[in-house]
Structure 1
Amino acid sequence: MRIYILFILTILLANTAVAQQETIISKTVANEFQKKYNSNDYEGIFTMFSKEMKAFMPHDKTLDFLNTLNTQAGTIKKRTFIKYPQTNVALYKTTFERAIVALFVSVDANSKINGLMVKPYVTEKLPELKRNSSKLILPFNEEWTVFWGGDTKEQNYHVAYKSQKNAFDLIITDAAGKSHKNDGTNNEDYYAFGKELLAPANGEVVLVVDGIKDNKPGVLNPNYVPGNTVIIKTSNNEFLFFAHFKQHSIKVKQGQKVQQGDLLGLCGNSGNTSEPHLHFHIQNVEDMNIATGAKAYFEEIFVNGKVRNTYSPVKNDKVKNKYYFRIKV
């Protein structure tokens, strides 16, 4: 899975400003933006753009950006003016349903938006997490193959990205090492597609995204990189992140308590992925934009046919739980 980038930077800006009180123009425009955003009036937001902004962020691109923002962060619950980091660019600490972000809104002399940026808002020291202390099972019963996993770039391209540096991409392969039958043009050709995915540990479901379409193999969806997603928070404040579920297959709800072995959903091909697979990693906070990845160790698993205890798989390992977990829906 490619890095999880929520937001898009548009045009900006001019010189450093000195005024640190919100102007009436900024306040009016920001209020209108929030009102239209929360009512899903994305067409209305586009009409607020300057001519230059519309050229930089065409209609389709604007709608994709706002839809993605809503899918990942939800609606705006609270917005607080902070300062003008640059002339006519107002910075707001903005609390969405699922994230707290820094919202920058630039307004021209005609009260039109000529710059817009959203990025993580970080003010506090985040908790450190090197590895899991919760005992984990593999999130499946069958034998899967580690396509990406390990601590080096050769083993795992994820190491370049802070939030998912210890992530795994897992597939199912046949005796010939192939991940699909036939010519692989359909999702159903892939052995991993539709396979049941399980909760590795007890915890609470803190995020569910389930409406992203599955891609045609080879066609990526960069608008919502993780695709259909589940995040579980354990009692040890570990956030277990699952990506690329099959559309409408997720069986758990946000706020639900799950037990180790519970069915979460089915493996799919949604998000920025070229073929059906499971992306799994652990992070220290829920928001992937500010999180740091942690190393995942699993208890009593078969690794290439031999039992290993407290083991973190690496590329090309074939892994399977030592014990079969009866699926609980």
Structure 2
Amino acid sequence: MKKLIALLIIFGISTMTFAQGEKEISQKTSSAFKKYFNQNEYKAIFDMFSPEMKTALPLDQTLTFLENVKSQAGTLKNLEFVKYEQGTVALYKAQFDRTILGLNLSTDQNSKINGLHLKPYQDDSQPILERNISSLILPFKGEWTVFWGGDTEELNYHVTTPAQKGAFDFLIMDENGKSFSGDGSKNEDYYAFGKELLAPAAGEVVLAVDGVKDNKPGTMNPFFVTGNTVIIKTANNEYLLLAHFKQHSIKVKQGDQVTQGQVLGLSGNSGNSSEPHLHFHIQNMEEMSQATGAKSYFKSIKVNGKVKTDYSPIKGDRISN
């Protein structure tokens, strides 16, 4: 899925503390929002705005924003009240057809919407992982290059997404810094395509998706973001996610117990991927839309020809087990 437009417009929010039970006005506002959203009556939502909101987000922008949300996320199936943030801003767990988001709604003294925000939903009841506890190996054989990895947006564009903030994208590059031979028009031109991918740690396979087609290089599939995917749950409740496998190459199934280094499948170009590569990250729960990511440290690997222990690679590193 393409990244949803993040909209945050809030006026005159009180910082007083209120009880956490949902107030009647919040309930009425959220119910009306859900009804009008699902009926494509976006102007009715605009009519619920305060004067300040209407100025900040004119009708044409409101229509465009809500239409984009509907096209990317689908119908709003359920709104579950979670708590109040900043005193009067109601947070809802918004279950759409294709994702789960956090919806903030606030109202002014005239019961008009003066705050609206959609964001990735994070379940605060889940344990937060700072880093892996389990001993990890790199999930491949031979030398690969870190295309995205690190703690800053310059090194790693994933850092802005909660579940993927510790993610890596790995490629195989030649001595000239190219990831393919020939003209790069076919997946087979790419050095990473079809290479064996390994279990970084032992654990249980909790998800195995194998039927997503590989993209033609340069195109992407935003509707199946991770494409063909394996998620392994370790004994330490870490969820290791490996994405973009080659179609029909995955050798494990849900419920399997895997050992560290076991072959899971082959590297491919499925999902939201423009060329064959491996996406890998750790998260604190299985559902990526609700998860928080953790940083990955590998026990002992070669980095640019030198052995490093308990190391988390960064963009540009050439690494191998």
TM-score by length of 2: 0.66
Cα drift, residue 312 of structure 1: 1.9
Aligned pair in 2 of structure 1 residues 146, 47: CA closer, same or farther (>3 Å)? closer
Match for residue 269 of structure 1?
A: 269
Aligned pair in 2 of structure 1 residues 165, 65: CA closer, same or farther (>3 Å)? closer
Matches within 5 A, 1:193-208: 193-208=193-208
Cα drift, residue 305 of structure 1: 2.5
Q: Secondary structure at the match of 1:298?
A: strand
Cα drift, residue 126 of structure 1: 3.3
Q: How many Å separate the matches in 2 of 1:137 and 1:202? A: 10
Match for residue 121 of structure 2?
A: 120
Report the identity percentage. Answer: 51
Match for residue 157 of structure 1?
A: 156
Match for residue 251 of structure 1?
A: 251
Cα drift, residue 187 of structure 1: 0.8
Question: Residue type matched to 1:231 in 2?
Answer: I
Question: Residue type matched to 1:271 in 2?
Answer: G
Aligned pair in 2 of structure 1 residues 206, 319: CA closer, same or farther (>3 Å)? same
Deviations 1:237-278 (A, max 9, x none): 211111111122222222221111111111111222221111
CA contact (8 A) 1:158 1:167 kept: no
Cα drift, residue 180 of structure 1: 0.2
Aligned pair in 2 of structure 1 residues 183, 207: CA closer, same or farther (>3 Å)? same
Match for residue 289 of structure 1?
A: 290
Greater shift in the superposed pair: 168-177 or 184-193: 168-177
Question: Residue type matched to 1:290 in 2?
Answer: A
CA contact (8 A) 2:73 2:99 kept: no
Match for residue 305 of structure 1?
A: 305
Question: Residue type matched to 2:201 in 1?
Answer: A
Match for residue 143 of structure 1?
A: 143
Q: How many Å separate the matches in 2 of 1:118 and 1:173? A: 35
Q: How many Å separate the matches in 1 of 2:98 and 2:134? A: 25
Match for residue 238 of structure 1?
A: 238
Cα drift, residue 177 of structure 1: 2.1
Total equivalences in the alignment: 294
Aligned pair in 2 of structure 1 residues 194, 148: CA closer, same or farther (>3 Å)? same
Aligned pair in 2 of structure 1 residues 318, 82: CA closer, same or farther (>3 Å)? closer
CA contact (8 A) 1:151 1:159 kept: no
Aligned pair in 2 of structure 1 residues 20, 307: CA closer, same or farther (>3 Å)? closer
Q: How many Å separate the matches in 2 of 1:196 and 1:180? A: 17
Match for residue 216 of structure 1?
A: 216
Matches within 5 A, 1:62-81: 65=72
TM-score by length of 1: 0.64
**1:229 is the counterpart of 2:256:** no
Cα drift, residue 8 of structure 1: 8.1
- 5+ residue gaps in structure 1? 11-18, 30-44, 70-74, 84-90, 105-116, 322-329
Match for residue 174 of structure 1?
A: 174
Cα drift, residue 208 of structure 1: 2.3
Aligned pair in 2 of structure 1 residues 134, 140: CA closer, same or farther (>3 Å)? same
Q: How many Å separate the matches in 1 of 2:98 and 2:220? A: 25
Match for residue 183 of structure 1?
A: 183
CA contact (8 A) 2:129 2:283 kept: no
- 5+ residue gaps in structure 2? 8-21, 33-37, 45-58, 85-90, 105-117
